Amino acid sequence: MRIAFISDIHGNATALEAVLADIKEKQIDQIVVLGDIAYRGPEPKHSIKLVQDLDATVIKGNADEWIVRGVQQGEVPDQALELMNQEREWAVSQLDQAEIDYLSNLPSDLSFIKEGVTIHGFHATPSSLFDVVLPSASDAEITDKLTKDTEADIYLYGHIHQAYIRPVDGKTIVNLGSVGLPFDGVTKASYAAIEINKNTVSASIERVDYDIEKTIQAYKDNNYPNIDMMEQILRTGKNG
């Protein structure tokens, strides 16, 4: 059994298509989506459609919540609030109400068992769509924020756009990175794969090349309100 976990697509449909093609080529059995589907990318509508067409379990991320109700003060730096709401308004203008309702009604976390292995997935933390747990977090912080409330063998999350795999107290912690907007300096789409085979379990981070120039051109063609910053992130794989 192989399961692909993807998240933080951020409206980058070109990157998502490349990831889905990679998943198909590797004959992965199941797909799980851990949120942030549409906001901050040039193709929010197409990205939602691609996710809806999957036979996948999907949960909500903070950016999905932002599409629904806007970015609120205290959730981002004050100097970024106005611009990020402009981006949100642009994204909403590309969607119909049914798509916004779809994002609104997504659950916030998931747990399931496959072949005796318990998996817990969420976007940022089990209790928040917004909290940040970085790869440099201490074992105590990871335990407190990610694992203490639900017993599982593997915990997976997105949100920080920095992929890593780390054992903590006998548990495996996996951050998926980002399909559409990586921040870890690798300019490729990222997702995680979990393989369960009888008595063995393995986790890997998969990196997929995609056509960055096509995505940048889509920002320009669609008159996105923050093109320069988004182009810089895509070209460097870093946020600032």
pLDDT of residue 198: 82
- Rounded mean pLDDT of the chain? 97
198-203: long-range contacts, CB 8 A cutoff, minimum separation 24: 198/115, 201/117, 201/153, 201/154, 201/172, 203/154, 203/165, 203/172, 203/174
Closest CA to 146 of 133, 158, 159, 161: 133
List pLDDT tens digits, range 12-32: 999 999 999 999 999 999 999
Tokens of 110: 């998931």
Q: What are phi and psi of 107, to 5 degrees?
A: -70, 170
DSSP string, 174-224: EE---SS---SS--SEEEEEEEEETTEEEEEEEEE---HHHHHHHHHHTT-
Closest CA to 110 of 19, 18, 33: 33
Helices (H), 55-177: 62-69, 78-93, 97-104, 139-142
Closest CA to 53 of 13, 10, 88: 13
How many whole angstroms separate alpha carbon 23 and alpha carbon 232?
27
pTM over 0.95: yes
What domains are defined for the chain? 2-236 (3.60.21.10)
Contact (Cβ atoms closer than 8 angstroms) between residue 5 and residue 191: yes
List pLDDT tens digits, range 47-102: 999 999 998 999 999 999 999 999 999 999 999 999 999 999 999 999 999 999 99
Q: Is 220 exposed, middle or buried (0-12, 13-18, 19+ CB in 10 A)?
A: exposed
Give the bridge partners for 166, in sequence order: 173
pLDDT of residue 240: 75
- Collapsing DSSP to helix, strand or coil, 140 comes out as helix
pLDDT of residue 199: 79
